């Protein structure tokens, strides 16, 4: 195989980043087609990204016969539909997280994918490809901290993002689906266990408007794992220092922390404010390298015929837990995940 021919559905804020990576930075890939409902985005794809073929409808794009793979970076409520259509088009499929906001839709895609075992089908949990998270996983697998039994993980976003997020709550499914789905995946990845029971609380401590949408600006969950382990998961929309994704993995012989502080780089300043580090301001700034490595890995899997580590089951389980957390938050009691 010479180069993997890729089409992309969705060229929004994040879609554009995927497209740039595919076209310019990922080896053995070329972005041959892109579709979007927004004509400015298509112009951008054509003129800046030099994508030869652009489409206003995903059906049209999927009718091409030269595609090897499709990237779905559309809005969350369209993921399942686009995923199934892409599978039907006979291509490998990568979909941005979360796969869907309810377990049924996830399972529908899973079932569809099982009938096409030769097409890779994964949902992106980018943190697994971040060099720091990947290094931590390697250390854990090597036994550096004994048996991991407790994971603390948080997704903390900057307060300046909150107004934008407000518009986004309905389609994103709220904090548990949008933010914590990553933390849930990390808990499963590091412990090898699903989550059994959750108890979620939270509030709109700074931005009351989230409460009116049945959402919050800060949430906290305690998770009892199926294997007897435990997890504490936090999300926030109200940080002032930076985008602060942080995870701690505690094992029987040591512990690991990933991401503290959320430093922008290796520079430290000493001035009237003390000794300090500036922080990354967005999840993309934090995980830029992970996004590239994730995309390279999927392309490499196709080139090498190697099965991706992530499966649709990972996506279903993340949605299952996020759904239980959302219910627990609203019902103010513990909820069993299955």
| Minimum distance, C-beta of residue 74 to a copy of itself, in the bound complex (Å) | 27
149 binds a copy of itself (CB under 8 A): yes
Q: Which stretch binds a copy of itself (CB under 8 A): 66-74, 165-173, 239-247, 312-320?
A: 239-247
Nearer to a copy of itself, 103 or 186 (CB): 186
192 binds a copy of itself (CB under 8 A): no
Interface with a copy of itself (CB under 8 A), residue from 269, 285, 304, 306: 269
Interface with a copy of itself (CB under 8 A), residue from 175, 239, 301, 337: 239
Q: Which stretch binds a copy of itself (CB under 8 A): 75-83, 84-92, 178-186, 219-227?
A: 219-227
* CA–CA distances in Å: residue 62 to residues 9, 34, 215, 279: 10, 10, 36, 41
Q: Which residue has the tokens 């609380």?
A: 201
Give the residue from 235, 273, 242, 240 showing the smallest Cα distance to 260.
242
Structure tokens at 244: 């602060």
Interface with a copy of itself (CB under 8 A), residue from 47, 147, 171, 214: 147
Taking CB under 8 A as the criterion, which residues in 272-291 touch a copy of itself? Answer: 272-279
Residue 175's φ and ψ, nearest 5 degrees, are -60, -40
5 binds a copy of itself (CB under 8 A): no
90 binds a copy of itself (CB under 8 A): no
Interface with a copy of itself (CB under 8 A), residue from 201, 214, 285, 307: 201
Do residues 195 and 223 lie in contact, with contact meaning Cβ atoms separated by under 8 Å?
yes
| Continuous segment of H or E residues that includes residue 163 | helix 162-172
Whole-angstrom Cα distance, residue 152 to residue 200? Answer: 14
Query: How many other C-beta atoms are found inside a 10 Å radius of the C-beta of residue 205?
Result: 14
258 binds a copy of itself (CB under 8 A): yes
Nearer to a copy of itself, 36 or 296 (CB): 296
Contacts of 260 (CB under 8 A, 6+ apart): 246
Contacts of 60 (CB under 8 A, 6+ apart): 35
Could you tell me how many residues of this chain bind a copy of itself (CB under 8 A)?
71
Interface with a copy of itself (CB under 8 A), residue from 224, 282, 300, 327: 224
| Minimum distance, C-beta of residue 85 to a copy of itself, in the bound complex (Å) | 32
List the x/- string, 11-40, binding to a copy of itself by CB under 8 A: -------------xx-x-------------
| Continuous segment of H or E residues that includes residue 234 | strand 230-239
Taking CB under 8 A as the criterion, which residues in 316-335 touch a copy of itself? Answer: 332-334
Peptide bond into 315 cis (omega under 30): no
Q: Which stretch binds a copy of itself (CB under 8 A): 10-18, 102-110, 119-127, 149-157?
A: 149-157
Q: Which stretch binds a copy of itself (CB under 8 A): 6-14, 42-50, 83-91, 221-229?
A: 221-229
How close are the terminal C-alpha atoms of the chain, in Å? 43
63 binds a copy of itself (CB under 8 A): no
Do residues 30 and 5 lie in contact, with contact meaning Cβ atoms separated by under 8 Å?
yes
Beta strand 29-35 pairing with 53-55: parallel
């Amino acid at each position: 195989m010479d180069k993997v021919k890729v089409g992309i559905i969705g060229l929004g804020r994040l879609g554009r980043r995927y497209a740039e990576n595919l076209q310019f930075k990922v080896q053995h890939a070329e972005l041959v087609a892109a579709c979007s409902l927004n004509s400015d985005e298509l112009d951008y794809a054509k003129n800046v990204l030099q994508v030869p073929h652009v489409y206003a409808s995903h059906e049209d794009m999927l009718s091409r016969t030269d595609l090897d793979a499709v990237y779905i970076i559309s809005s969350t409520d369209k993921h399942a539909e686009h995923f199934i259509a892409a599978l039907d088009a006979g291509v490998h499929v990568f979909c941005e997280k979360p796969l869907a906001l309810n377990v049924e839709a996830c399972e529908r895609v899973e079932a569809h994918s099982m009938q096409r075992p030769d097409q890779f089908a994964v949902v992106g949990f980018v943190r697994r490809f971040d060099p720091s998270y990947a290094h931590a996983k390697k250390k854990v697998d090597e036994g550096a901290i004994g048996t991991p039994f407790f994971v603390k993980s948080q997704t903390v976003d900057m307060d300046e993002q909150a107004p934008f997020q407000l518009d986004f709550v309905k389609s994103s499914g709220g904090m548990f689906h949008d933010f914590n789905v990553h933390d849930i995946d990390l808990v499963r990845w590091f412990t090898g266990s699903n989550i059994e029971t959750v108890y979620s609380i939270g509030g709109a401590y700074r931005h009351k408007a989230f409460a009116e949408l049945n959402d919050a600006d800060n949430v906290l969950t305690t998770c009892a794992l199926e294997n007897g382990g435990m997890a504490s998961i936090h999300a926030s929309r109200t940080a002032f220092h930076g985008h602060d994704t942080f995870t701690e993995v505690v094992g029987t012989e040591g512990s690991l922390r990933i991401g503290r502080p959320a430093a922008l780089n290796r520079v430290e300043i000493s001035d009237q404010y003390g000794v300090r580090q500036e922080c990354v301001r967005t999840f993309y700034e934090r995980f830029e390298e992970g996004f590239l490595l994730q995309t390279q890995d999927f392309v490499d899997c196709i080139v090498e015929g190697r099965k991706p580590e992530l499966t649709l089951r990972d996506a279903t389980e993340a949605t299952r837990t996020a759904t239980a957390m959302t219910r627990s938050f609203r019902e103010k009691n513990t909820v069993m995940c299955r």
